[in-house]
Amino acid sequence: MKMHSVSSLSLKVTRLLLGLLGTFLVGATLVNAEPYIVVSGDLRGEIKPCGCAEEGDMGGLQRRGTALSNWRSEHPDVMYLDLGNNFPKPSAQGKLKLDLIQQALKLLKPVAILPGPYEWNYGQATWDTFLPYLLSNAIDLPWSQVISQEIGGERWEIWGYVTPSLLYQNENDPPNLVPVSDSLIQQWQSQSQPGTKRLLLFRGTSVEADRFLQSGWFDRILVGSTNDDELNQVTTFTTETQLLQMIPTKGQGLYHGFSSSDQLEVRWLRPDTADWESLTPLFTNYDQEVKQLFLSGLKRMQKLQQETQFVGATVCTTCHTQAHQSWKSSRHSNALATLTRVGKDFDPECLQCHVVGFQQKGFLSSQLTPQLANVQCENCHGSAQEHIKNPLNHPPLEARQSCVNCHVGSHSPSFNLSTYWPKIQHK
């Protein structure tokens, strides 16, 4: 009896679902042509997740490529926009990344890119002129002031605002941006075509955002991220009058949705989104360039080899047998092999946490300093050079504070001394 009623219920549910599916299919064919908006931004040099921990394994350009091409095959009219702040912090390796990022963006084909402060750090000369950089509040700059797009039977204008107050004032490369004012908005309005929809890519203060909101002139305002913490993602931007949608930081998520939808949805780029193969050659090339940069630095570093402050774990064995044994069986003693396994044992951005004293007169390379490979005693206890000369007078550092030099952010989101220390405990 019970069984019977359950199965008739499930039959009803099935019918209902089939009905809904039918409506959905009819609906889908009708609204198919409606523009579909996809938004990225705030990559901040995080071109690929490091893979240090599952919880932090999000983002990257390759997954973005797959998500985008899936949406492009589902929806005939995708309008893909980018809020900028894509470049890394300035460094020699950062320059290589910046090239990769811009080459990748050319293949991902955004309609518009708003350059953020991270792009400005490198100067406008580094911005690829074949990419659609957009700055509507600039004076005498070679970038687009407004980008119009005929899409899914709708005409869209994309405007872009970057507040001058956020930018470093470099005399040789001044931002030449004007702050929002009534006359700026009027000037934009006078250049606008009638009958268009308008979207603003925005990076500025909440007061500035309210000026644009009060104008009532934009159908949608999308905000670049003001958040640095990838573990506590913030996706709203609060003004006096409204909550605006703010892109997740470090490229970990995209916005997507039909142009008519009130709110776009966030799509987090987790490992279930495969890597887009069209970008693979760029990443292979980048790895080769990083390797060359690493090896060229090595020649300079070799001179420092004599000055090294670190002695390596083998030296400790005789006097601290138990500590050495527990270290040997921990994952720390394998940390460089991990990088070799993922093809990254030459990348300075990875080595800093996977070996002893990288760029601090310690590890140079597996060949030159094999005794300093992996995470070892001296990563936590500090240099033991004086200690081995005179153990009683020079005890090494008490090491409890050391963990968070490496177990930080998305590299170790679930780190907690009380659960991690017991796994590697020794005396």
Name the site residues for ligand HEC (rule: CB under 6 A): 50-53, 311, 313, 315-316, 318-320, 323-324, 327, 331-332, 334-335, 338-339, 342, 344, 347, 349-350, 352-354, 375-381, 384, 387-388, 391-392, 395-396, 398-400, 402-403, 405-408, 411-412, 415, 417, 420-421, 423-424, 426-427
| 3-state DSSP assignment of residue 215 | helix
Shortest distance, position 173 Cβ to ligand HEC, whole Å: 30
Four-CA torsion 320, 322, 324, 328, nearest 10 degrees: 180
Nearer Cβ to ligand HEC (50/213): 50
List the Cα angle 301/307/314 in 5-degree steps: 100
Distance CA(235)–CA(215), nearest Å, equals: 23
Shortest distance, position 271 Cβ to ligand HEC, whole Å: 12
Angstrom CA distances, 161 to 126, 139, 144, 254, stand at 20, 12, 12, 20
Nearer Cβ to ligand HEC (26/342): 342
Two tokens at 24? 């959905």
Shortest distance, position 119 Cβ to ligand HEC, whole Å: 22
Two tokens at 50? 């490091």
Nearer Cβ to ligand HEC (264/339): 339
Nearer Cβ to ligand HEC (176/338): 338
CA nearest neighbour of 351 among 369, 332, 364: 364
Shortest distance, position 320 Cβ to ligand HEC, whole Å: 4
- Amino acid in the structure at residue 129: T
CA nearest neighbour of 177 among 164, 190, 186: 164
Distance CA(370)–CA(199), nearest Å, equals: 56
Two tokens at 279? 């970008």
Shortest distance, position 368 Cβ to ligand HEC, whole Å: 19
Shortest distance, position 69 Cβ to ligand HEC, whole Å: 25
Nearer Cβ to ligand HEC (63/332): 332
Nearer Cβ to ligand HEC (27/391): 391
Nearer Cβ to ligand HEC (115/382): 382
Shortest distance, position 59 Cβ to ligand HEC, whole Å: 12
Distance CA(201)–CA(189), nearest Å, equals: 16
Question: How is residue 121 annotated by DSSP?
Answer: H
Radius of gyration of the chain (CA): 27
Two tokens at 201? 């890519």
Nearer Cβ to ligand HEC (50/147): 50
Give the Cβ contact number of residue 149 at 10 Å.
19
Shortest distance, position 291 Cβ to ligand HEC, whole Å: 13
Nearer Cβ to ligand HEC (236/405): 405
CB contact burial 98-125 (16+ within 10 A = b; e otherwise): bbbbbbbbeebebbbbbbbbbbbbbebe
CB contact burial 373-400 (16+ within 10 A = b; e otherwise): bbbbbbbbbbbbeebeeeeeeeebeeee
Nearer Cβ to ligand HEC (137/379): 379
Nearer Cβ to ligand HEC (187/330): 330
Cα Dmax for the chain = 86
CA nearest neighbour of 127 among 173, 59, 159, 177: 173
Name residue, tokens 């084909």: 109
Shortest distance, position 308 Cβ to ligand HEC, whole Å: 13
Shortest distance, position 416 Cβ to ligand HEC, whole Å: 9
Shortest distance, position 359 Cβ to ligand HEC, whole Å: 12
